Every structure is written in C-alpha cells, then in structure tokens.
Amino acid sequence: MVSARHILLGALALGATAFPATAPVQIAQRTSPSAASLDDAFSAAVKEKRVPGIAAIALNRDGSVLYKNSWGTVNIDDDKSAPITSSTKMNIASMTKSVVAVAALQLVEQDKLSLDDFVEDYYPEWKNISVLDGFTDDGEPILRAPKTKATILHLITHTAGQGYWFLDEGISKWTEWSNKQETKTPTPLAADPGAGWFYGSNIDTLGYVIEAISGLRLDDYIEYNIFKPLGIKNSGFIQADMYTHRRHENGTITATAAPAPISPTAKPGGGGYLISTIDDYSTYLVTLINWGTHPQSGATILKSSTIRKYVFTDLIPVAISGDGTCDFKQQGPPVGIWESNVQTMSLSSEFLPGTKKGWSASLLINKEDVPGRRKANSGAWAGINNLFYWVDLKSGKLGAVFTNLQPFLDPEVLGLFDKLEEFVYAA
C-alpha cells in the first residue's frame, strides 16, 4: 500500500460565436512564508530527482491564485531541455474523463440524450456485448449475455462493467487469452451493468455516444463546446511537451520516451486522449466550482442545476440497484479501492482512506469532510501519469499537480500533492 497521509485519491456543436472566446486571466502570484515552505518542498524533490519536472496550482472560487509554481525540465535526464511552466503540455490521461462527462451532460441539457437511455441505442456494438463469467479448466473464457442493459448513467459512473485489464484479474486473464487468438473479439464486461463499480473504459464508450449524437469527432465536439467558450487554447488531441518518465525498482527516475506526434489516422478516446496544461485545466476546474460558469469571462458550459445534480452528487445509489441495502452484495471493489495487478503500471491503495466515498459524473466524491482539508461533496480525480486534482465546492478552493511519471500513485508525488492541499486550507 502507498504510504501518504491521505491519497487523493477521461448533437450539433454550438458555434464558436455562441460564447465569448476569452483567454484565461493571469493573476499575480501570492506569496507567504507557508508558500515559501511549499516552494522549498517541491524544489528539493525536483533537485534531488525524487520527482521529474512538476507544476502545481491552487485557486480560489473567483479565480484568484492561492499558489502557482513549477520546477524542473521536461526531461529529467537533460538539464538543458525546456523548463516546466504552467503552459507545458502534458498527457493528462484520465483527467480527460471529466471533460467528456461534461460534454455528455451538455447533450442531456439539450434533450438529445438521457442518462436512462440504453448504450446500445447509440452504439450498436453493445447489442452483442458479453459478460465474462469465469474460465473453464482448460483456460477458455466462459461468456454469457448481460442480465441487464447498460445505460448512459452506468457509463458515466463506471458501473457499466467495463473494467480496465490492469485493475481486474478476470479481464487481465481474458486479455492474455485473447492475445493468443487469431480472431479478435470485443473485450467482455467484468460484471453485469449496475452490479458494481468497475473503473475502466466506460468513458471511451461514452465518447462514441457523443460522436453518434453530435455527428462530430469527440475532440472537435469538446473543442467547439467546452474549450473555445472557456478560452482554452493549449489543450486537445495534440503533441505533448513533456517526456514520459518511469521510477525504477531502485527508486531512480529516467525519461523513457520523448513526446510523439499524433498520427493522422489516430482517433481520440474519451478515457484519456487529452494533452493539456495546468493553466488550461485549472480554467476548466474553476468553471466547475462556479456552477458551470467561468468567474471572469462569464462563459457557461453547463447549467448550475446540472452541476449540482450530476457533477458534485454521488450517483452510485442510483446507478447500482440495491446499493446500501442489507442483502445486496456489490461486485467489484468498493468505490475508491484501487487494486492493481500490474505494479509497473500502477501501485495499489485506497483513495481517501477512512472517508466515505461515492462517484458522480466522473468524479470521486468524498461524502464527508476530510478533517482540516476539503469539505464533504468535493470532487476529485487523477491521471495515470501521476497528475492529481481536487475541487471543493463548499470552501471554494481547488488544486492540482501536473507531472508525467509512472507507475501511478507515486508516493513522492502524492506527498507533494498532500502538502499543496495542507497549505491551501491553512492559508
């Protein structure tokens, strides 16, 4: 288990003229003795190569800066490589999921989609999807038809059964079996839709639904309807600036791959296609904390009622029939339990241990206050390259750290993220 004090722990488009395309406002950085101490902690970690280049930010609800700084370079092995700044483009992986969920909720507001709609109505491939029901003695998968039909609500809450292979032993074993077959078949579900929380490629499927309804490629829909209205200009299906890094078994970190250009034939996946900057993503987060409207530009991407009902409310009791009843046994891990069977990809732990947790429209929800930190019903999530954020609706504060390091749940990065949150609530 990772040891950190707490672990925080992817329609017709509206025209660009529908909203003012205002660039994120830059505000002077505030300083204090506590901020200097936080600077020292991040700086020492980078200087001693305990983490690669990293950026951090914390904002108030009005967009004013509580903390903002960056350290190191895009390549830990090359001191002469470009310095990390708040505009360094990084692979944000599963931080994409929240943006895609907001895109889907826009279609809900336009009455083009309902969370009760069946997935197969928009994505016909799901009419023939199977559930993995174990393996024979000879190692052959046992597949059956789902007992329930998956809905859009199931996708947006990771309760459709689409678990990632590295988080589910059954799907991992199926993947090994599938790789040996000449004829490839679709990955089965880990469980029936609505039977449990299985974090995985559910939001990829949601992206296909958005494309089917809007007639646009997913990245184009998000560009027109979320990024342009918010003045976000350095995010999308684009090439990153930062190298991929890996922490090895002896604790050292090296750069393992340079950022690669996007292939002309590549298609964006809703679960993790975005490259973004900490400036851009915090612009998106400060919009969420203001009930869907940016506090400075006035651009609106969702109604306040939608934000309240879906983004900062635990939807698990609705998505999982029987949740909370005495005789119900949920399949899969409880929300927030992270059990990786590939430690080179991700470590195992629990997000916010000791805190009651739920899941909203693609955010982890803490259902009670974290003492001295975020208030109940805050939303949070992460990217597998060790990027983390939280959004505290009640306190009006948010924070994030951006880097690019594997495996996920790195103790050093989590420790710095913890210090950031500690600073924000002590300020």
pTM for this entry:
0.91
Q: Are residues 244 and 365 in the same domain?
A: yes
Last residue of a domain, one of 206, 230, 254: 206
- pLDDT tens, N- to C-terminus, the chain (427 residues): 444 444 544 332 333 323 233 333 333 344 444 899 999 999 999 999 999 999 999 999 999 999 999 999 999 999 999 999 999 999 999 999 999 999 999 999 999 999 999 999 999 999 999 999 999 999 999 999 999 999 999 999 999 999 999 999 999 999 999 999 988 889 999 999 999 999 999 999 999 999 999 999 999 999 999 999 999 999 999 999 999 999 999 999 999 999 999 999 999 999 999 999 999 999 999 999 999 999 999 999 999 999 999 999 999 999 998 665 666 778 989 999 999 999 999 999 999 999 999 999 989 999 999 999 999 999 999 999 999 999 999 999 999 999 999 999 999 999 999 999 999 999 7
CA-to-CA dists, residue 413 to 41, 49, 61, 187, 210, angstroms? 11, 12, 25, 33, 34
Which residue among the candidates 70, 86, 89, 97 is catalytic per the annotation?
97
Active site residue 184: no
User: DSSP letters of 8-72?
Assistant: ----PPPPGGGS--PPPPP-PPP--HHHHHHHHHHHHHHHTTSS-SEEEEEEETTS-EEEEEEES
Number of domains comprising the chain: 2
> 339 CB contacts (<8 Å, ≥6 apart)?
167, 333, 348
Active site residue 199: yes
Q: Is residue 21 part of a domain?
A: yes
Q: Are residues 34 and 150 in the same domain?
A: no
CA distance 420 to 246: 23
Active site residue 94: yes
Q: Are residues 267 and 401 in the same domain?
A: yes
Q: Are residues 313 and 354 in the same domain?
A: yes
Which residue among the candidates 81, 94, 276, 346 is catalytic per the annotation?
94
Which residue among the candidates 122, 199, 284, 310 is catalytic per the annotation?
199
Q: Are residues 38 and 104 in the same domain?
A: yes
Q: Are residues 155 and 241 in the same domain?
A: no
Q: Can you give the residue range of the structural domain that contains 291?
A: 16-112+218-426
